[in-house]
Amino acid sequence: MASPLAALKSNPTAPLTEVSPPDHAVFGHEPIVAVALRREAAHRVASLPPDLARGLLVVTTVGGKDGGTPLPDGPLWWQADPERGFREARGRLGGYLPAVSVPRRLLRALRHPIRTARRRSLYQHRDVLRKDTLAEALRTTIAAAGAGGPVTVWPLEPRDADLVRPLAGQTVRLVNWTPDALVATWEAAGKPRLEAPHLAAAPATYDPAAYWSGLHRRHDLSAVGQSGLPPGINAWLYRSLARTLRGFLRRNGVTSPASAFDVGLGTGYWVRFWRSQGALVVDGCDLVPEAVEAVRREAEAEGAKGTYFTADIGLEGSLPKATYPAVSCMNVLLHLTDDAAFDRALAGIAALVAPGGVLILAEPMLLDARWERPYDPGLHSRARPATRYRATLEATGLVLEDLRAGTVLANNPIEAGSRRAYARYARWWRWVASESKASPRSARWLGPLVMVLDRAALATGAAPSTKLALFRRPVAEEPRP
């Protein structure tokens, strides 16, 4: 059977069905998706009676950090990002380029004439791409809300109706209501208390196995680090984080563990790191069989001890029963975007830590939960609040002993103390990315510069990006006689 989204795409020109005024039968029988892309329209929906509003799924482009007041509670809000398609297309053409003088801009155009022409065309068609991105987000959300059954779509403004009009058909009913008419009909129906809408699993573009298998064909650090940046600068970014991690371990008294386990082997970078720290045996797992085999071959060639296997850590029982004095999980858990899989992975990883042992995490943990972004099933990474990690791990008996910045300037920012500070970090990272993409050989001077400046920035106590966390499992006390 075709998916709901496929069914919608296969009939894009179905005739429009408009129903006005609303009828009583709509309440409680089929999901209602309100399309309120602008803030004014979103607040018109939010001003509906609470028992009515809570039964609506509202698609909007408004977020809590767009300069206005946060959206109120009531409906289930689904935030669409109209600029996503543009940013992805721009990323394929070198990403954001900072403003420069006219001579430098001309020089850049002469060095990359084809890319410059494509970027110019992209900016000229930005509005068209924006509409296409919004239309695709609406298709996906409506399909998830309907789960193959009928769904009512209520655009609040004419411009919203133009985007959803092609979706109307046998299972998608487009209605032309006013908020007052909807409230009047709801009151006439006896003011029923509507159930909160439930979203079926939307067709997601992120397939972890396929995504990571494709990246690992590169056979370099760009496969597991910043996939949009060249291998040279990725090597320096890894080197910077490894230096910070060595100091972090010394500060917490973690030296020369007898054995270690690395979750998410990747290219084996952190396996080699633990060996350099004195670990005699380093085991590990990865989702991609080819990555596991490559690490195994390297260990055999060097005569190193270790057991490596394929595992999906988001599945219960995928990790071994053995325990280790040191367990590392370096920028892996952010790629488990599903909450249930994330919780299962944390529980499984925590079980690997022996009494007295430590779990080392490098993750984009948010110290301020207000910077958390809405869940997007199409993205391959997700920054979560640090409290989310802590609550799950401490429930398994681990204790958080240290949490601090892993990098300040050697990764993209996810939060900051203010919007102005965040803008500064973002400008810096865009410049690093654009320079490394424009000329991969720039890593020879750009890498050391990032490493030196990052070390100085760490001393300020700022933590806008990756965090390092150390959890320890207490040693069980001997029972008293």
Other C-beta atoms within 10 Å of 354: how many?
17
342 and 372 assigned to the same domain: yes
270 and 337 assigned to the same domain: yes
Q: What is the pLDDT of residue 400?
A: 96
418 and 455 assigned to the same domain: yes
The rounded distance, in Å, linking the Cα atoms of 307 and 315 is 20
- In-domain check, residue 203: no
224 and 140 assigned to the same domain: no
Beta strands in 101-200 (DSSP E): 151-155, 172-174
117 and 247 assigned to the same domain: no
Sequential pLDDT tens for the chain (481 residues): 333 223 223 333 333 334 444 554 556 567 788 888 888 888 888 888 887 887 888 888 876 433 334 455 667 777 888 888 888 878 777 777 777 788 888 887 788 788 788 778 888 888 888 888 888 888 877 777 766 677 888 888 888 888 877 776 666 778 787 888 888 888 887 887 777 776 654 444 577 887 888 888 888 998 899 988 899 999 999 999 999 999 999 999 999 999 999 999 999 999 999 999 999 999 999 999 999 999 999 999 999 999 999 999 999 999 999 999 999 999 999 999 989 999 999 999 999 999 999 999 999 999 999 999 888 777 889 999 999 999 999 999 999 999 999 999 999 999 999 999 999 999 999 999 888 887 888 899 999 999 999 999 999 999 999 999 999 999 974 444 4
427 and 466 assigned to the same domain: yes
Q: What is the pLDDT of residue 23?
A: 54
- In-domain check, residue 43: yes
Domain count for the chain: 2
Q: What is the pLDDT of residue 72?
A: 59
Q: Pick from 188, 216, 240: which residue ends a domain?
A: 188
Q: What is the pLDDT of residue 63?
A: 60
Burial 11-33 (b: 16+ CB within 10 A, else e): eeebeeeeeeebeeebbeebbbb
28 and 134 assigned to the same domain: yes
- In-domain check, residue 200: no
450 and 383 assigned to the same domain: yes
258 and 128 assigned to the same domain: no
222 and 250 assigned to the same domain: yes
* Chain length of the chain: 481
- In-domain check, residue 133: yes
Q: Which 8-state DSSP code applies to residue 349? A: H
14 and 69 assigned to the same domain: yes
317 and 461 assigned to the same domain: yes
- Which residues have a Cβ under 8 Å from the Cβ of 390 and sit 6 or more positions away? 400
Q: Which domain holds residue 307?
A: 208-472
- In-domain check, residue 479: no
> What's the one-letter identity of residue 157?
E
- In-domain check, residue 199: no
Query: Of all helices (H) and strands (E), which one includes residue 457?
Result: helix 443-458
Q: What is the pLDDT of residue 116?
A: 80
The rounded distance, in Å, linking the Cα atoms of 95 and 352 is 40
Question: Which CATH number does the domain housing residue 399 bear?
Answer: 3.40.50.150
Tell me the pairing of strands 56-60 and 32-35. parallel
Which strands, in side-by-side order, build the sheet including 32-35? Answer: 76-79, 56-60, 32-35, 151-155, 172-174
Q: What is the pLDDT of residue 425?
A: 95
Q: What is the pLDDT of residue 290?
A: 94
- In-domain check, residue 201: no
Other C-beta atoms within 10 Å of 339: how many?
12
Q: Which 8-state DSSP code applies to residue 417? A: S
